[in-house]
Amino acid sequence: MVGARVSGPELSTGRSDVQQSTGATAELDNHAGAQNGEVIMTHAETGNPPAARSLLPRWFTVKQVAQMLGYGETKVRFLIISGDLRSLKDGRSRRVLPEWVDQYVERRVAESEEQGR
């Protein structure tokens, strides 16, 4: 059985606590591999297939990039328009690959270090 491990004091008190804290029902310590109050929830119980939990996004929206960098969406769009941050058009939406975000951050760090000398 494929499942997600959930542990914590709030989950070890009984089935009703699990329902309240996770919104799903799970059996405590009844699945093979459960240890010390851990709850193992099957994907049917969590609502997420196992592969979906482990996939990382292949690209980000402008809003996601803004959240990651701590910028506003307007600033991220300005960075895209000015060419400082690469992006691509997907239909009507702008998308930014993770490596392009990394390149932007590395470039900003390098510029900062050069100015600090």
Give percent of the chain above pLDDT 90: 49
- Residue 39's pLDDT is what? 54
16 has a pLDDT exceeding 50: no
How do 3-6 and 39-42 pair as beta strands?
Answer: antiparallel
How many beta carbons lie within 10 A of that of residue 22, not counting itself? 17
**Which pTM does this prediction carry?**
0.53
CA torsion 72-77-96-105 (nearest 10°) is -60
Nearest partner of 18 among 32, 31, 37, 2, judged by Cα: 37
Give percent of the chain above pLDDT 70: 53
Q: Where are the domains of the chain?
A: 3-54, 60-116
- Residue 53's pLDDT is what? 57
6 has a pLDDT exceeding 60: no
Q: What are phi and psi of 93, to 5 degrees?
A: -105, 155
Over the stretch 42-84, which tens digit does the pLDDT of each residue have? 555 556 666 555 687 899 999 999 999 999 999 999 999 999 9
Identify whether the C-beta of residue 20 lies closer than 8 Å to the C-beta of residue 41. Answer: no
